Amino acid sequence: MQSRIAAIPLLILFPAALVFADTTPKAAHADIVNSQGAKIGSAKITSTTKGVQIAVAVSELTPGEHGIHIHTVGKCEGPAFTTAGGHFNPTSAHHGIHNAQNPNPHLGDLPNLVVDENGKGKASFSVEGVTLDDGANSLFHEGGTSIVVHAKADDLMSDPSGNSGDRMACGVIEK
Ligand SMILES: [Cu+2]
Ligand SMILES: [Zn+2]
């Protein structure tokens, strides 16, 4: 009987204690800029049970399919955005879901982004295995990560980056 009485104040205090103890971000975002540094879009990233969901909205791009990936460095220096490094690949996999070699794909590989005739593209991608928490698969690993949009479609099979061409836009993933 005594333990049941003691449990009542604990139930009241515990939710408050969780709020202060848990510093893991439940969401992240990125401002996406073009090669001139002008903001042309954004990404909202939320935690899911299997990974993260990335909702992207961009404008001022050429109509058609564009490769889009999570890159392994959180640094977007235009105009070429080479500072963003290669694809986020903590599992040492090959590029693209259709790559003949295993394992694949890179954790940072995403389906192509479709841009309409007005230059706008909007999509939401479910990415398994990626986390906002700690560890090698975290979007907040040392040096951070970024989202990069390319000039051409990703063929989803060719190492190292699917022949998707120049880097047109980039956004550092931030808390
Ligand atoms: Cu890329
Ligand atoms: Zn890749």
Q: Is residue 12 part of a domain?
A: no
Q: Is residue 18 part of a domain?
A: no
Strands 27-34 and 113-115: unpaired
148 CA distance to ligand 1 middle (Å): 5
Residue located via tokens 């640094």? 75
pTM of the model: 0.87
Total domains in the chain come to 1
Q: How many CB atoms lie within 10 A of CB 126?
A: 13
Ligand lying nearest the CA atom of residue 82: 1
154 touches 59 (CB < 8 A): no
Which residues have CB less than 5 Å away from ligand 2 (the ion)? 87, 95, 106, 109
Q: Is residue 125 part of a domain?
A: yes
Q: What is the arithmetic mean of pLDDT over 46-65?
A: 97
Q: Is residue 9 part of a domain?
A: no
Ligand lying nearest the CA atom of residue 91: 2
Q: Is residue 11 part of a domain?
A: no
Ligand lying nearest the CA atom of residue 160: 2
- pLDDT at 2 > cutoff 50: no
Q: Which amino acid is at 92?
A: S
Q: Is residue 120 part of a domain?
A: yes
Number of H-type helices and E-type strands within the chain: 1, 9
SS3 call for 3 = helix
Q: Is residue 126 part of a domain?
A: yes
Q: Is residue 15 part of a domain?
A: no
pLDDT in tens, 103-113: 999 999 999 99
Ligand lying nearest the CA atom of residue 85: 1
pLDDT in tens, 117-167: 999 999 999 999 999 999 999 999 999 999 999 999 999 999 999 999 999
52 CA distance to ligand 2 middle (Å): 17
The CATH number assigned to the domain holding 48 equals 2.60.40.200
Question: Could you list the residue range(s) of the whole structural domain that residue 46 is in?
Answer: 23-174
Strand ranges (E), the chain: 27-34, 39-47, 51-58, 64-66, 68-71, 113-115, 121-128, 146-150, 167-174
